[in-house]
């Protein structure tokens, strides 16, 4: 079974669309279809069920995808170990993060020591980061904990708190702190439910018998505080992110005890080989000064 055929198969499995997969692979759609047929002939079973314009993995296809991803992961790990033996310090690190602001100091110090390493940081929800790790799309993740998955291992970094962000013109802007129950009194712009910050807030509110009904759900922190700055409504954001905002149009108000808290940490696959570059990044990540005041609370 050729490695190339498996790459074609994985591309179609991800896109579930032959034309899109062909574009991604930079080959023609008829060529891709022919290669998939060859693979199906070799295995003696269909890998995709075609219904109209839609494609779905068959049970055999799902089994092959799981094993292929495992094989590709092992090959990647072998390359890392071989490069380590050769003393290679160049390469790429792909990281999923629940907030890019968490990595600024780490990125600066790491780049100064390893300027030859290409870093790609993508802001993702925790669930999306975990999916990327399991599918070998990411090397590391910065996520909210606890995280329970038999294929992943996590290490806590610090405890995150939440704060209310409102317009400086808002009646609440002069408060020193705000009770959680008071959030239901104002229009709110919050994360969608898939984000753990939202789940963290909803859980805390449920604990005191309150349910929040946001007027708007937005998936980025910048869009949320910009809405607050324009006096559309308040938003609840991680304190570590709010501390980076320098805008006179908004005011940050701490939530009174019991303040919702969530541990933040880094995560990677349990079977991942930690080479010198990844190890160095983790070393920079765990330096207390790279998280400033955020780490002092955890």
The confidence score (pLDDT) of residue 298 equals: 34
Residues 6+ apart with CB under 8 A from 33: 18
**Percentage of residues in the chain having pLDDT higher than 70:** 94
Please compute Rg for the chain using Cα positions: 23
Strands 261-269 and 140-145: antiparallel
The confidence score (pLDDT) of residue 140 equals: 95
The confidence score (pLDDT) of residue 67 equals: 94
C-alpha span between 162 and 88 (Å, rounded): 42
Confidence of residue 293 (pLDDT cuts 50, 70, 90): very low
At what angle are helices 3-15 and 18-25 packed, to 10 degrees? Answer: 130
Which phi-psi region, left, alpha or beta, contains residue 14 (left: φ > 0; alpha: ψ -120 to 50)? Answer: alpha
Token couple for 18: 């032959």
The confidence score (pLDDT) of residue 86 equals: 58
The yes-or-no verdict on residue 291 having pLDDT over 60 is: no
Pairwise pLDDT comparison (224 vs 285), residue with the higher score: 224
The confidence score (pLDDT) of residue 92 equals: 84
Token couple for 90: 């160049």
Note the pLDDT tens digit of each residue in 245-277: 989 999 999 998 888 888 889 999 998 888 878
Note the pLDDT tens digit of each residue in 160-212: 889 999 999 999 999 999 999 999 999 999 999 988 889 889 999 999 999 99
C-alpha span between 140 and 38 (Å, rounded): 36
The confidence score (pLDDT) of residue 89 equals: 65
237 backbone dihedrals φ, ψ, rounded to 5°: -130, 160
Q: Which helix (H) or strand (E) holds 124?
A: none
C-alpha span between 50 and 80 (Å, rounded): 38
**Segment 6-19 mean pLDDT:** 93
Q: Which helix (H) or strand (E) holds 21?
A: helix 18-25
**Using an 8 Å Cβ cutoff, are 215 and 261 in contact?**
no
The set of long-range contacts for 109-113, using a CB threshold of 8 Å and a minimum separation of 24, is: 109/284, 109/287, 109/290, 110/280, 110/281, 110/284, 113/280, 113/284
Residue carrying structure tokens 């080479």: 275
37 backbone dihedrals φ, ψ, rounded to 5°: -65, -40
Confidence of residue 31 (pLDDT cuts 50, 70, 90): very high
Pairwise pLDDT comparison (276 vs 239), residue with the higher score: 239
C-alpha span between 233 and 164 (Å, rounded): 11
Least confident of 26-30, 163-167, 284-288: 284-288
Note the pLDDT tens digit of each residue in 129-140: 999 999 989 999
Q: Which domains does the chain have, with CATH numbers?
A: 3-73 (1.10.10.10), 89-157+263-296 (3.40.190.10), 159-261 (3.40.190.290)
The confidence score (pLDDT) of residue 295 equals: 39
Helix, coil or strand: residue 219: coil
Note the pLDDT tens digit of each residue in 43-99: 999 999 988 778 999 999 999 999 999 999 888 888 877 776 555 467 789 999 987
The confidence score (pLDDT) of residue 275 equals: 80
Confidence of residue 290 (pLDDT cuts 50, 70, 90): low
Strands 152-167 and 235-238: antiparallel
Residue 131 neighbours by CB distance under 10 Å: 15
C-alpha span between 290 and 108 (Å, rounded): 9
């Amino acid at each position: 079974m050729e490695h190339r055929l498996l790459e074609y198969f994985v591309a179609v499995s991800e896109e579930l669309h032959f034309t899109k997969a062909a574009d991604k692979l930079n080959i023609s759609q008829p060529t891709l279809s022919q290669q998939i047929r060859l693979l199906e002939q070799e295995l003696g079973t269909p890998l995709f069920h075609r219904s109209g314009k839609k494609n779905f993995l068959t049970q055999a296809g799902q089994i092959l995808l799981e094993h292929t991803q495992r094989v590709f992961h092992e090959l990647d790990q072998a390359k890392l170990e071989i490069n380590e033996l050769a003393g290679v310090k160049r390469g790429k690190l792909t990281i999923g993060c629940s907030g890019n602001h968490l990595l600024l100091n780490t990125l600066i110090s790491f780049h100064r020591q390893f300027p030859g390493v290409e870093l790609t940081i993508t802001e993702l929800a925790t669930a999306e980061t975990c999916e990327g790790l399991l599918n070998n799309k990411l090397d590391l993740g910065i996520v909210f904990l606890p995280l329970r998955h038999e294929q992943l291992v996590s290490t806590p970094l610090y405890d995150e708190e939440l704060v209310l962000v409102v317009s400086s013109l808002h009646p609440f802007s002069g408060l020193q702190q705000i009770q959680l129950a008071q959030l239901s009194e104002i229009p709110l712009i919050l994360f969608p439910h898939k984000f753990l910050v939202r789940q963290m807030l909803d859980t805390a509110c449920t604990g005191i018998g309150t349910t929040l009904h946001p007027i708007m759900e937005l998936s980025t922190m910048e869009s949320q505080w910009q809405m607050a700055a324009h006096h559309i409504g308040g938003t609840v954001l991680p304190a570590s992110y709010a501390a980076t905002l320098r805008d006179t149009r908004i005011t940050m108000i701490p939530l009174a005890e019991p303040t919702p808290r969530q541990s933040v940490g880094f995560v990677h696959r349990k079977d991942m080989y930690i080479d010198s570059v990844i190890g160095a990044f983790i070393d920079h990540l765990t330096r207390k000064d790279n998280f400033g005041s955020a780490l002092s609370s955890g």
